[in-house]
Structure 1
Amino acid sequence: MTDRPVEEMSFEDAMRELETVVGQLERGDVALEDSIKLYERGAALKARCEVKLKEAEEKVAAITLDRDGQPTGTQAVEDQ
């Protein structure tokens, strides 16, 4: 587990750390107090992954296609 703020993590970094957290919790060899901290960190990481996935879905949905089905550009998600 890192001390890096979850809000600064990319999807990939958050997912990797979440997998590590889940692995530690599944082994069950962590003290109760540490398990609680791991669970809280895992919940924050999960939420971060959900936010990043939602952002990606919105960007994909914003892609417009021309008559030939080719992308013509994107509209910024913030503009919608």
Structure 2
Amino acid sequence: MAITNLALRELSGCNSLLIKDWIEQHKDEVISHNAKYGMENKKDPLNPASYANKGKDIEKILSLINDEFLNGEGYRKARTE
């Protein structure tokens, strides 16, 4: 799964402006991660925005990330509020 504003927003419950700022501050890392898995922005490789998740069911992946790395705190909390 590509690191995107939507994915991070779903996991963290933060608003998109905070996520946008975080992505901009970690731009090189986001681009590197997405490129490593072939999910980079094909039209502009220097742009951290990725569309690799578009049209895919990312619910299972987000749940797995939440359970494995966030101890079930992030995703469920965002969903219940």
Larger Rg computed on CA atoms? 1
Same topology, TM > 0.5 = no
Structure with the larger strand share: 1
> What is the TM-score of this pair, normalised by structure 2?
0.27
Structure with the larger helix share: 1
> What is the TM-score of this pair, normalised by structure 1?
0.27
Of structures 1 and 2, the one scoring higher in RCO (CA 8 A, sep 6+) is 2
